[in-house]
Amino acid sequence: MELLYGPIRDYAWGSRSAIAMLQGRPVPSAGPEAELWLGAHPGAPASVERAGLRVSLCDLVRDEPGQWLGQRVSDRFGSRLPFLLKVLAADAPLSLQAHPDAEQARAGFAADTGRPLEERNYSDPHHKPELLVALTPFEALCGFRDPAESAEALAAFGVPALAPVVAALRTGPAGLRAAVQTLLAWPAAERGELLGSVVVASTDSPDAELARRLALAYPGDPGVLVALLLHHVRLVPGEAIWMPAGNLHAYLSGCGVEIMAASDNVLRGGLTPKRVDVDELLRVLRFEVLDDPVRTAQPVAPGADWWPVPVDDFALHRVRVGAAVPSVTLSLPGPRVVLCGVGPITVDDGAGALTLGSGQAAIGTAAGEQLRVSGSGEAYVATAGLR
């Protein structure tokens, strides 16, 4: 195993405490720290040391796919690491967004070739399913809830202009598309007045509180009302949310470990100053109720569990060692990225043992043997999801 050095992305919605505390640095940090990236994404690759110099993992994987990925992973995904592991820390709501499935991504990327950058929706031909596991209490919007509940929430505001949206929602899931389309296509000149009426008329309910909160952060943004069509999820540490293709979602607050297929394809639906392509978003969205967006961990061995997901780009395991379970050995396909959530722990893949403190990460190549984790703490292990 080798130490992996991940860059921190300084997006404005990031926390000035969560990642710094995880890594044992002074709090508050000098600026917002939104995401710690632990992968070979070309936009911000992690690195390892070679002869005293930091070398991009992106370059190593590209130049030596057999060593880093192994035959099965490189046959399936080419000379790229198919997943990106992150620590995400949100102090403010992120944009409403959805991701395409693999077929939509390939077609969209091909169609976007030659268009000006500012008009493109797709930056690569890959899908981008995501799994987020809460490290702290975590709040998110994830998937459409029962439209009847959403209809009652909007009707309670008593705003006559919303009557067509309420009527559409009362027809059931078949009305979701019309409701979303109506809200996102609301004339820009009238959005401020609409949201002002909603905020003034808001009653003391969770939906009203959420609307006020989002309207304060994103005044005049129709995504404030689209957000009320989604499940408002509050995770406790260890719970996860799974975000498959076509699932509208947004993170609101908290810190978590996120793993995703390595892609930048994001279609936004509001709560953002960035470009929103309503037509393309409507084409990608799945207008169906997501019955239960929360995933709980499933045990795989004493001291180890995981959150199974139906993709082969990634898998995420959690290992907890200490007095009761001093070590855990897992047979997982390489490559393996290990993040220490609580330390110290020691990770050993047969090619070399390494001790990690909280917030540190390591990577092992495909040539490594079984992964053994020991010590006293908690680790998150990311691998490709091939079985």
Q: Look up residue 120 and give its two tokens.
A: 């493109």
CB 316 within 8 Å of CB 133:
yes
Amino acid at 328: V
Beta-carbon count within 10 A of 117 CB = 7
What string of DSSP letters covers 141-157?
EEEE--HHHHHHHHHTT
Residue with tokens 């892609």: 263
CB 287 within 8 Å of CB 177:
yes
> What residues does 77 pair with on adjacent strands?
none
Under DSSP, is residue 17 helix (H, G, I), strand (E, B) or coil? coil
Distances (CA, A) of 180 to 6, 127, 132, 144, 340: 38, 23, 25, 11, 41
CB 260 within 8 Å of CB 128:
yes
CA angle in degrees (0–180, nearest 5) for 38-98-386: 50
- Beta-carbon contacts of residue 193 (< 8 Å; ≥ 6 apart): none
Kindly state the helix (H) or strand (E) to which residue 295 belongs, with its residue range: strand 294-295
CB 370 within 8 Å of CB 381:
no
Pick the catalytic residue: 268, 295, 318, 320?
A: 268
Q: Look up residue 82 and give its two tokens.
A: 């198919």
372 catalytically annotated: no
Q: How many residues does the chain have?
A: 387
CB 25 within 8 Å of CB 386:
no
For residues 280 and 6, what is the distance between their CA atoms, to the nearest angstrom?
Answer: 33
Catalytic residues: 268
